[in-house]
């Protein structure tokens, strides 16, 4: 299937290019600070003023402040600029130069759309109506000559307005800019416009002139357009129906009045020892969840996610990927909710994780026995921690705080690791529980430990289902109680690429200044191996660098592996299926292996797919010494550094 058919089958049948270079007339705010105004007004005195009056009859050179803020006057002056060019000086020079500089880039964008057979129109700042119906939008980050915050805000606001007007699926978007920091800017832009990465790409304007660059981006967007729209539709439906559910839940809960609260307190809460506020917050949470679940539209919108395509694999965008943030929200109660006083007798409850108070001295003979890494899970039933006549002692399970380690099996039938716990809202760690180390604490000591000057704090509170799963591990590994499978974990990595030269010395692959190779380590549930996928934002630069590498400068023993990667079908796999079956923890040296051509991704994460070696993965600084004589035969050597605290 050729490229035109792929794009057409993906539903991309119309496009717009949005850039202020298409605006025919400069705006007042773009010229307000121009020094040329004073020179212009000084030169149009006396007889020269008549030349301006010929097309602007009310022209009065003494009203310079008013005129420079008058859009009609600027329109007239711009339209007649050739007739009075000698009087304008440099007034329009910056604006005209910017348009001239932009023209070749925009011409390349237009040529790319034409090559793919996509009809398009071009627009300046007034693009909202056209964008509301376009399947593909190529848009400039800064819609204004000053390239400042206001110009960027205009782009964001008008694009959001256009998306809000759409009746159908969301468009695919390519963001353009000349600024070198486009990678970071694009991340914020995508978040503000509320787009999924699969429907969004970005590039610097000079890249528009790289042959095939724009077509490649559009083909990538087309490959997963349907799946991306299904995901966006599900999120949008969930958001809208959640808002409706709030209204329905509030309507039901308004039927509870103060006499009901009084009855609840008299008949229930005074016996239980729970504050009315805490009890009602729990009631409201459950009623709202029930109303969200009642919406058939949400369930229907989720069904297309089951049909998501596995081939081709989607490209990775890692610079704002953070699955741990979502995972933590599914495991833990929000700290603000946790800190709300419940009125319970005990200062702790089922699911709490106790740890040493930050920045306090840990006593060698104290509760934490001098250990900064010791934490405890409260395993006693919540109801017995509420009442005055409840437990005399509480059962605790000891655990160790550790650096986040992707190789540990997470909570489940056999796992004993809580995979993420944020300390002080910032540093992320994990906990490995020791079900053979059980402790108890009485009420008096618990209160002393958790008072303002005490040795302990509550680091987090597991949600009921997560806490139940952990307690069941303790009580005999009898299985989970409806526990939701945790999200797959992922870690960011950065990389350098080296190779052996003819003399056996190491040389780093030459990349443009400022280009950093990044990607994600995707960890399966059983964590026996991982997949390393490079971030698609560096695909163009890395592809160019590898294809441009002169094999004559490379060690003879490495040429065969290098030539494998010089075939684009394999190169593309770096950014799609990635290095397969990479051992965890990452070894000092191991083979870098890609899926063999024609092989699908494995259906199970514990089954090794058919792979082929294309290089080596290393982690230490002394990899040349570690590889020894094999260095000359290693092909490209990918030096991987896993970023901490992802």
Q: Given the DSSP bridges, would you call strands 489-500 and 517-523 parallel, antiparallel or unpaired?
A: antiparallel
- Convert the pLDDT of each residue in 67-107 to its tens digit: 887 888 888 888 888 888 888 777 777 777 788 888 899 99
Least trusted range by pLDDT, from 111-120, 259-268, 608-617, 632-641 = 259-268
pLDDT value for 477: 39
pLDDT value for 439: 92
- Convert the pLDDT of each residue in 583-607 to its tens digit: 888 878 999 999 887 767 666 666 7
How far, in Å, CA of 642 to CA of 459, rounded? 26
Which structure tokens are listed for 93? 């020079």
Say if residues 289 and 359 touch (Cβ distance below 8 Å).
Answer: no
pLDDT value for 546: 92
Q: Which helix (H) or strand (E) holds 398?
A: strand 393-403
Say if residues 481 and 468 touch (Cβ distance below 8 Å).
Answer: yes
What's the gap between Cα 156 and its chain centre? 18
pTM above 0.85, yes or no: no
- Residue with the bigger pLDDT between 490 and 131: it is 131
How far, in Å, CA of 12 to CA of 212, rounded? 18
Least trusted range by pLDDT, from 15-24, 284-293, 402-411, 559-568 = 402-411
Cis? peptide before 346, omega within 30° of 0: no
Residue 170's alpha-carbon distances to 32, 160, 167, 433, in angstroms, are: 37, 11, 9, 45
- Long-range CB contact pairs, 48-57, < 8 A, 24+: 48/87, 51/83, 51/84, 51/87, 52/77, 52/84, 52/87, 55/79, 55/80, 55/83
Q: What is the CA radius of gyration of the chain?
A: 31
Say if residues 49 and 104 touch (Cβ distance below 8 Å).
Answer: no
- Convert the pLDDT of each residue in 184-229 to its tens digit: 888 889 889 888 888 899 989 998 988 888 888 898 888 888 888 8
pLDDT value for 397: 92
Say if residues 98 and 21 touch (Cβ distance below 8 Å).
Answer: yes
Distance between start and end Cα atoms, the chain: 40
């Amino acid at each position: 299937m050729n490229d035109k058919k792929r794009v057409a089958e993906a539903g991309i049948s119309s496009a717009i290019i949005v850039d202020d270079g298409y605006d025919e007339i400069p705006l007042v705010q773009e010229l307000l600070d121009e020094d040329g105004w004073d020179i212009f007004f000084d030169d149009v005195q006396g007889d020269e003023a008549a030349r301006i009056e010929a097309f602007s009859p009310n022209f009065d050179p003494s009203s310079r402040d008013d005129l420079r803020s008058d859009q009609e006057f600027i329109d007239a002056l711009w339209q007649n600029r050739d007739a009075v060019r000698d009087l304008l000086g440099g007034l329009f020079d910056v604006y005209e130069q910017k348009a001239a500089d932009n023209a070749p880039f925009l011409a390349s964008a237009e040529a790319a759309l034409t090559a793919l057979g996509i009809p398009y129109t071009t627009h300046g700042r007034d693009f909202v109506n056209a964008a509301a119906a376009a399947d593909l939008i190529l848009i400039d980050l800064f819609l204004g000559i000053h390239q400042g915050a206001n110009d960027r805000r205009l782009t964001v606001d008008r694009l959001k307005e256009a998306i809000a007007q759409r009746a159908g699926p969301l468009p695919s978007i390519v963001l353009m800019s000349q600024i070198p920091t486009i990678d970071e800017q694009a991340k914020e832009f995508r978040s503000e416009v509320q787009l999924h990465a699969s429907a969004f790409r970005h590039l610097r304007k000079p890249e528009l002139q790289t042959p095939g660059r724009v077509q490649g981006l559009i083909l990538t967007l087309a490959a997963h357009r349907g799946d991306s729209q299904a995901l966006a539709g599900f999120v949008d439906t969930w958001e809208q129906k959640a808002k409706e559910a709030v209204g329905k839940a509030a309507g039901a809960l308004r039927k509870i009045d103060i006499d009901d609260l009084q009855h609840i307190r008299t008949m229930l809460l005074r016996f239980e020892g729970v504050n009315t506020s805490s009890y009602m917050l729990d009631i409201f949470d459950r009623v709202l969840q029930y109303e969200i679940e009642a919406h058939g539209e949400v369930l229907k919108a989720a069904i297309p996610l089951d049909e998501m395509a596995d081939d081709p694999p989607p490209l990775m965008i890692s610079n704002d990927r953070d699955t741990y943030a979502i995972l933590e929200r599914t495991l833990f109660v929000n700290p603000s909710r946790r800190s709300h006083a419940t009125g319970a007798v005990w200062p702790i409850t089922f699911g709490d994780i106790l740890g040493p108070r930050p920045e306090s001295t840990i006593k060698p003979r104290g509760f934490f026995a001098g250990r900064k890494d010791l934490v405890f899970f409260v395993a006693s039933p919540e109801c017995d921690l509420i009442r005055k006549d409840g437990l005399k002692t509480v059962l605790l399970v000891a655990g160790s705080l550790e650096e986040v380690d992707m190789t540990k099996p997470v909570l489940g039938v056999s796992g004993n690791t809580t995979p993420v716990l944020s300390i002080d809202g910032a540093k992320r760690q994990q906990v490995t529980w020791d079900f053979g180390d059980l402790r108890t604490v009485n009420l008096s000591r618990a209160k002393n430990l958790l008072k303002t000057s005490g040795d302990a704090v509550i680091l987090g509170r597991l949600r009921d289902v997560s806490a139940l799963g952990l307690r069941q591990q303790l009580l005999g590994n009898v299985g989970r109680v409806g526990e939701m499978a945790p999200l797959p974990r992922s870690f960011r990595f950065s990389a350098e690429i080296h190779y052996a030269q003819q003399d056996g010395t190491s040389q780093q692959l030459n990349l443009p200044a400022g280009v950093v190779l990044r990607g994600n380590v995707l960890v399966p549930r059983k964590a026996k191996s991982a997949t390393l996928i490079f971030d698609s934002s560096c695909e163009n630069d890395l592809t160019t660098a590898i294809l441009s590498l002169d094999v004559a400068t490379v060690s003879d023993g490495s040429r065969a592996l290098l030539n494998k990667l010089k075939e684009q079908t394999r190169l593309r796999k770096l950014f799609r299926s990635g290095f397969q079956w990479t051992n965890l923890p990452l070894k000092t040296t191991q083979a870098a292996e890609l899926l063999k051509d024609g092989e699908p991704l494995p259906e199970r994460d514990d089954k090794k797919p058919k792979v082929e070696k294309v290089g080596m993965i290393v982690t230490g600084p002394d990899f040349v010494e570690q590889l020894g004589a094999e260095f000359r035969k290693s092909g490209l050597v990918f030096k991987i550094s896993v970023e901490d605290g992802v």
